[in-house]
Structure 1
Amino acid sequence: MAVTTTTHLNFRGAAREALAFYQSVFGGRTVVVTYQDAGNVQNESEADWVMWGEVVADDGFHVMAYDVPSPLAWDQGDNPFFVSVRGEDADEISALWQKLSHGSTVVRPLEAAPWAPLYGMLTDRFGVTWVVDVATPYRG
């Protein structure tokens, strides 16, 4: 089994621009899924914001990003990134979640989501927010 960790950057309306910039610097391919694409629009003015995006280059560069929707608190200095842990095996991801969740605050329980078989978010006892999921290709 393979598990990867990736820096997951958080923005408020600038994720698409940031991903385009990083792609221009590092090359690779960009994938962007908007809140509209995922059927998860909470505010119509944010429908085209990035719910999930990434730049992946052949040389190993990988960064993920999203736009924090307005109902959620966000401050660039307080919550600029997540650490993303992704894998293909639900049992392996669930086991990692169980270990990582000790002493943490669960932001979103690890469960099925419209975009992934398993997805969860927690903030560990050190203040680091982790996004944990079973990776699936985007078929938008």
Structure 2
Amino acid sequence: MAVASVTHLNFRGDAREALAFYQSVFGGELVSVPHADDENLVMWGQVAAANGFRVMAYDVPSGMPYSRGENAFFVSVRGETAEEVVPYWEGLSDGARVHQPLGPSPWAPVYGMLTDRFGVTWVIDASVAG
């Protein structure tokens, strides 16, 4: 039996745009279910790629409290090789604030951290130099 952890991101009206952006970076299939009372908002959405990347998202309804938050979570994408993760870094960098440029680190041959244009902080690294 296997258990998978999937990051679930909460937005206030940006979920559909964010999922489309993540699909453009990682590939895969985007599925989106609108809120029953507002078709412009996502009740549940997901990007699932053959390479194992998964992310879910939804738009918090206006009647519920929501704070974009600061440092509430990071999304970690770890590939087997540097070659594998560089395209993800390049895609996520579009409109992002880079905290740590992609490069060698004490624990990985390549590591970087950025906050994308939707306020989500990503850490990208590889387990081997490749």
Normalised by the length of structure 2, the TM-score is: 0.51
Structure 2 unaligned segments of length 5 or more: list them: 74-130
Distance 2:30 2:72 in 1: 20
Partner of 2:18 in structure 1?
18
Identity %: 62
Deviation at 1:79, TM superposition (A): 9.7
Superposition RMSD in Å? 2.2
Letter in 1 for 2:7: T
Check whether the contact 1:35–1:49 (CA below 8 A) recurs between aligned residues: yes
Is 1:49 equivalent to 2:32 in the alignment? no
1:92-103 mapped onto 2 (5 Å cutoff): none
The answer to whether structure 1 residue 61 and structure 2 residue 53 are counterparts is: yes
Larger Rg, first or second structure (1 or 2): 2
CA contact (8 A) 1:11 1:80 kept: no
Indicate yes or no: 2:63 matched with 1:74: no
Q: In 2, are the aligned partners of 1:30 and 1:56 still within 8 Å (CA)?
A: yes
Select the structure with the greater relative contact order (CA < 8 A; seq sep ≥ 6): 1
Separation (CA, whole Å) in 1 of partners of 2:48 and 2:42: 16
Where structure 1 has 5 or more consecutive residues not aligned to the other structure, the ranges are 82-140
- Which secondary structure state, in structure 1, belongs to the residue aligned with residue 6 of structure 2? strand
User: In structure 2, what is the equivalent of residue 6 of structure 1?
Assistant: 6
Q: What letter corresponds to residue 11 of structure 2 in structure 1? A: F
The amino acid that maps onto 1:19 is L
